[in-house]
Amino acid sequence: MVSPGEGGGLIREDACVKSRPCHPAGVRPSRALAPALALGALGCLGLTPMPDAPVSYGLTNAGVLLRGRPLPDQGEGFVRARPGEETRYGTPALVGALERAFASVAARFEGTAPMRVGDLSAPHGGRHHRHNSHRTGRDADVLFYVTDPSGRSRTGRGWLAYSRFGHAVEREREDGGPAGGLFFFDDARNWHFVRTLLLDEHAAVQWIFVSRGVKARLLRYAIDHEPDPRPILRAASVLHQPINAHPHDDHFHVRVLCTPSERASGCQERGPIWAWLREHEKDPDVIGAPLDDEALVRAILEPIDAAPIDAEPIDAPSEAVSSTP
């Protein structure tokens, strides 16, 4: 397992300080960066200028977030499960994808109860006491869309584990009231949420962590009702029960990839970059898209603002230049 700070910028080994990770384990980003910034001011470090745009640095379980975008406490089709808490920051790609998906479900299904959104990342990312990941603004927890026995859409409940049969019994109430309520996994709304994320060209969703039982249920529904084969094929790969972790039978855990420009600034990822996402990253309009060998050589050797080959020569100055000192 990569420890916090590995793979990030290294502090130069010289007379000032020896090489070591930038973010020691257990230290919050703001405290970890302070010594490095102080050394940089003294001229002991060769630091790369910080980008102006929001950037996700490092791995999702060993990184930080710069200038993250906050998810509002409420919006079209969603509310935050912990309003007012600071664990609501993400990259623009993640926050934008969630907002578009919530709004799409609300527009498609009249009377939809707001989706409850759990944790994203802290304002500057870094270690979070409730999660091993959620450190770089590329992770978000989202409760399922659910219905009551009458089929009415209800606000999602936390800690309700749904089996492949699609029902869950409320063992305890978050508000302390009487428990025992019966809830059903809302196949139609949950599938629409998933398909919207997977077809969003600006989202680059790498994983939606969820239990095998819930994945099987969503795919069965999609096969019967989804007219577009693309989200079904993508969901078969992206929906995934994580290994050596909670099975995610009570919520979705959405993770997006680094953008090309974020990778150039130090964003790292594990796991696959799916074929449909690789094709998107070949788009020349994507800022920071990698160059092939020919384009790289041309960019290095091509003169800047070079005059055309057949251009008229520039007139020599009228005064002759003496060859003697």
Write the CATH number for 147.
Answer: 3.30.1380.10
* Residue 151 · residue 166 · CB < 8 Å: no
How much is the pLDDT for 219?
A: 97
| Distance in angstroms (rounded) separating the CA atoms of residues 234 and 253 | 16
How much is the pLDDT for 301?
A: 72
173 part of a folded domain: no
Range with the poorest average pLDDT among 164-178, 212-226, 297-311 = 297-311
Claim to verify: residue 111 and residue 202 sit in the same structural domain: yes
Work out the number of other CB atoms within 10 angstroms of the CB of residue 321.
Answer: 6
Claim to verify: residue 10 and residue 75 sit in the same structural domain: no
Claim to verify: residue 83 and residue 32 sit in the same structural domain: no
3-class SS string, 206-238: EEEECCHHHHHHHHHHHHHHCCCHHHHHHHHHH
For helices 212-225 and 187-199, angle between their N-to-C axes, nearest 10 degrees: 90
Residue 246: is its pLDDT beyond 70?
Answer: yes
Best CA proximity match to 170, nearest among 157, 181, 159, 161 = 181
101 part of a folded domain: yes
Rg over CA atoms, the chain: 25
Claim to verify: residue 195 and residue 136 sit in the same structural domain: yes
Q: Find how far residue 193's CA is from the centre of its chain.
A: 16
Range with the poorest average pLDDT among 42-46, 48-52, 73-77 = 42-46
Claim to verify: residue 126 and residue 220 sit in the same structural domain: yes
287 part of a folded domain: no
| Distance in angstroms (rounded) separating the CA atoms of residues 26 and 271 | 25
For helices 229-238 and 212-225, angle between their N-to-C axes, nearest 10 degrees: 170
Q: How confident is the model at residue 292 (pLDDT cuts 50, 70, 90)?
A: low
The angle at the Cα of 62, spanning 55 to 69, to the nearest 5 degrees, equals: 30
Claim to verify: residue 86 and residue 29 sit in the same structural domain: no
Q: Which of 44-53, 57-66, 168-177 has the highest mean pLDDT?
A: 57-66
16 part of a folded domain: yes
324 part of a folded domain: no
pLDDT tens digits for 224-241?
Answer: 999 999 999 999 999 999
289 part of a folded domain: no
Claim to verify: residue 143 and residue 247 sit in the same structural domain: yes
Q: How confident is the model at residue 177 (pLDDT cuts 50, 70, 90)?
A: low
Q: Which of 88-102, 120-134, 309-323 has the highest mean pLDDT?
A: 88-102
How much is the pLDDT for 113?
A: 96
For tokens 């640095």, the residue is 57
Claim to verify: residue 8 and residue 104 sit in the same structural domain: no
How much is the pLDDT for 50?
A: 63
Decide: helix, strand or coil at residue 89.
strand
Claim to verify: residue 128 and residue 217 sit in the same structural domain: yes
**Half-sphere exposure in the Cβ direction for 212 (13 Å, CA):** 3
Claim to verify: residue 211 and residue 79 sit in the same structural domain: yes
Best CA proximity match to 7, nearest among 62, 64, 46, 68 = 62
The CA-to-CA distance between both ends of the chain, in Å, stands at 67
Please provide the DSSP assignment of 20-48 as one string: --SS-TT--HHHHHHHHHHHHHTT---PP
Domains of the chain: total = 2
Structure tokens at 138: 């590329």
Range with the poorest average pLDDT among 86-90, 156-160, 288-292, 318-322 = 318-322
In the DSSP assignment, the letter for residue 296 is H
How much is the pLDDT for 224?
A: 97
206 part of a folded domain: yes
Claim to verify: residue 148 and residue 10 sit in the same structural domain: no
| Distance in angstroms (rounded) separating the CA atoms of residues 189 and 187 | 6
178 part of a folded domain: no
Spell out the residues 6+ positions from residue 25 whose beta carbon is closer than 8 angstroms to its own.
3, 4, 5
Domain that residue 257 falls in: 66-158+186-281
pTM exceeds cut of 0.75: no
Structure tokens at 21: 């990770």
Claim to verify: residue 31 and residue 86 sit in the same structural domain: no
Residue 89: is its pLDDT beyond 70?
Answer: yes
| Distance in angstroms (rounded) separating the CA atoms of residues 151 and 180 | 17
